[in-house]
């Protein structure tokens, strides 16, 4: 049986982490919130489906070397190349290297543009993201706040880039137990997106999901349900009904329904999520495992132990592979990567 702490770690990241979409703090902004489940690579890997193609990494590294050669080590073009490499390293779980690259990009932006330039604010946000990913919330908070101050001053308080940083800062506040601040910032981020980009823009997905998860963890199920449903409609509109991101929301909605005793709706959503994950990511992916485990818990709760055992066994086979990867990493061994397809 997978340890409960590890399961909760997977589930909490499972909901938010998959939304790497349409951050709109320019293409240079590293908007990823951690390893993601994508269609790039099928099968369970130690980086939990980064979706990063090695050729893409090599190309970015070469572009960085070329920029340094052409412009010198402190040119803004080098900062752009550093940010691109860092964003890929982050998705590979190479956090230490990512932090160093973002720090270097930040220093270049400061020297070349000054501390009141929007590009410097973007670099601050990127560096703060690494601190947050490391659980260093006290260090991340002032970086985000400074980024927010600069963007509000230079671009105005209702710019979509401001909404991006508000969303990130709300995550930090939430992780530190500052619930009122977090909720306020989530709402502000959503309002800015709605006012500037419309109620159906893809940029709304991330703050909607984050706020929904915030409510879910506080047992505010009706509010969470409404937000998750809205996010699901946006995912279906901008991606597809069969995209793995839709599977994520279907699973979380199933859990919301379970906690409310709405078992028929819960099972319907679990079944749809299982189908999506199997079709979109293959039979051995962490998203499917988390969904099956949650499904099994619900089946056991409603008195269907045989069905629950089948789902639990299937989930455990996938979790076993994950444990093996984690053990390899803890021993400093490099896991063998298996790439079966690329995102086309």
**b/e code 324-339 from CB counts within 10 Å (16+ = b):** ebeeeeeeeeeeeeee
- Claim to verify: residue 59 and residue 195 sit in the same structural domain: yes
pLDDT tops 60 at residue 43:
no
Taking only the tens place, the pLDDT of each residue in 254-268 is 999 999 999 999 999
- Identify the domain boundary among 172, 200, 228: 200
Question: How far apart are alpha carbons 2 and 323 in whole angstroms?
Answer: 8
The residue segments making up the domain with residue 167 are 25-37+46-200
Question: Under the phi-then-psi rule, with left for phi > 0, alpha for psi from -120 to 50, and beta for the rest, what region is 332?
Answer: left
pLDDT tops 90 at residue 42:
no
Confidence bin at 145 (pLDDT 50/70/90): very high
Question: How far apart are alpha carbons 215 and 222 in whole angstroms?
Answer: 9
- Claim to verify: residue 92 and residue 135 sit in the same structural domain: yes
pLDDT attached to residue 159: 97
- Claim to verify: residue 290 and residue 218 sit in the same structural domain: yes
Tell me the HSE value of 325 on the side-chain side, using a 13 A CA sphere.
18
- Identify the domain boundary among 184, 200, 216: 200
Residue of 262, 246, 249, 248 lying closest to 298 (CA atoms): 262
Please name the residues in contact with 48: beta carbons below 8 A apart, sequence gap of 6 or more.
35, 36, 37, 286, 322
- Claim to verify: residue 107 and residue 33 sit in the same structural domain: yes
Question: How far apart are alpha carbons 177 and 162 in whole angstroms?
Answer: 22
pLDDT attached to residue 90: 87
Average pLDDT along the chain: 83
- Claim to verify: residue 29 and residue 52 sit in the same structural domain: yes
- Claim to verify: residue 18 and residue 29 sit in the same structural domain: no
- Identify the domain boundary among 171, 200, 229: 200
- Claim to verify: residue 16 and residue 132 sit in the same structural domain: no
The number of folded domains in the chain is 2
pLDDT attached to residue 282: 82
Confidence bin at 284 (pLDDT 50/70/90): confident
User: Domain with 140 in it: what CATH number?
Assistant: 1.25.40.10
- Claim to verify: residue 103 and residue 236 sit in the same structural domain: no
Taking only the tens place, the pLDDT of each residue in 161-202 is 999 999 999 999 999 999 999 999 999 999 999 999 999 999
Question: How far apart are alpha carbons 214 and 208 in whole angstroms?
Answer: 10
- Claim to verify: residue 288 and residue 193 sit in the same structural domain: no
- Claim to verify: residue 18 and residue 70 sit in the same structural domain: no
pTM as predicted: 0.80
- Claim to verify: residue 216 and residue 138 sit in the same structural domain: no
- Claim to verify: residue 187 and residue 213 sit in the same structural domain: no
Q: Can you read off the two tokens belonging to residue 240?
A: 């597809």
């Amino acid at each position: 049986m997978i340890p409960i702490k590890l399961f909760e770690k997977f589930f909490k990241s499972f909901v938010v982490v998959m939304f790497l979409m349409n951050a709109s703090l320019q293409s240079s902004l590293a908007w990823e919130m951690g390893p993601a489940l994508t269609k790039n690579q099928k099968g369970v890997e130690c980086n939990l489906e980064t979706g990063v193609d090695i050729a893409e990494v090599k190309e970015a590294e070469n572009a960085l070397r070329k920029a340094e050669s052409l412009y010198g080590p402190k040119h803004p073009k080098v900062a752009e190349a550093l940010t691109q490499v860092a964003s890929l390293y982050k998705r590979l779980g190479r956090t230490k290297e990512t932090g160093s690259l973002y720090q270097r990009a930040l220093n270049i932006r400061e020297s070349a543009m000054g501390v009141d330039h929007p590009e410097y604010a973007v670099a601050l946000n990127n560096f703060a993201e690494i601190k947050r990913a490391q659980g260093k919330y006290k260090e991340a908070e002032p970086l985000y706040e400074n980024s927010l101050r600069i963007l509000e001053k230079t671009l105005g308080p209702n710019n979509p880039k401001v909404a991006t940083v508000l969303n990130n800062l709300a995550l930090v506040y939430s992780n530190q137990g500052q619930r009122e601040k977090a909720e306020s910032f989530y709402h502000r981020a959503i309002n800015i997106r709605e006012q500037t980009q419309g109620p159906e823009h893809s940029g709304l997905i991330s703050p909607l999901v984050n706020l929904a998860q915030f409510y879910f963890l506080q047992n505010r199920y009706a509010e969470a349900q409404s937000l998750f449903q809205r996010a699901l409609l946006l995912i279906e509109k901008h991606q597809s009904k069969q995209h793995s991101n839709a599977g994520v929301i279907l699973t979380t909605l199933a859990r919301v329904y379970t906690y409310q005793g709405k078992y028929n709706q819960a099972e319907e959503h679990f079944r749809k999520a299982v189908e999506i994950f199997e079709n979109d990511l293959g039979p051995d992916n962490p998203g499917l495992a988390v969904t099956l485990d949650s499904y099994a818990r619900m089946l056991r709760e409603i008195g269907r132990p045989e069905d629950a055992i089948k789902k639990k066994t299937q989930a455990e086979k996938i979790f076993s592979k994950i444990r093996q990867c984690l053990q390899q990493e803890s021993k400093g061994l490099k896991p063998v990567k298996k790439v079966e397809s690329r995102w086309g």
